[in-house]
Structure 1
Amino acid sequence: MLVKLLKWQSVLLIIILSSVACSKDSDEEYSGGGTTASSAKFLISSTIPEDQATGVSLFTSVVIGFNNDVNSSSVSGNNFSLSSNGIAVPAKLFN
């Protein structure tokens, strides 16, 4: 169960990066007095282990895949976190 997995004392979180860099398109270029934010929403597209998996070791890394490219240089422990029902879960971030 995913809830059981999130109770680990230490969770290793590895993000699958489908691309190391994102390119700007016309919506993201500088214009006027500032920039426009991308309208892309990041949704989880896959997880390892799968949701509701049983018999998973407490030392198994959690791998999360997203539906959009992630710029690895923009992800850090300061702007990415793991939580279960609003409660922070200890995690290490590798990218």
Structure 2
Amino acid sequence: MYGSGTQLTKQQQQQQQQQQQQQQQQQQQQQQQQQQQQQQQQQQQQQQQQQQQQQQQQQQQQQQQQQQQQQQQQQQLQQQLVRIKGRKLLCTKMAGSSETC
């Protein structure tokens, strides 16, 4: 009687230990799932950051293009001014300072 009683308590203890181990495993699985979710969130954030960087790069490229266009316009204006000045100088040399072309 005494021997069989101790065997039962041992079995119960083993079952309790197994249950505790299962609970620990479940907790570990939950933690892993949470970590995976966090990783996914981080990946999404990284993707969003990459998209923002791409948008910023595109904006910078557009700004550079606008600057280039402005520079070209300024160059054209300067060329026109030089031509006008050149014509005036030619006129004054050809006709004399008193007459206007």
TM-score by length of 1: 0.18
Q: Which has the higher contact order (CA 8 A, sep 6+)?
A: 1
Q: Which has the higher helix share?
A: 2
Q: Which has the higher strand share?
A: 1
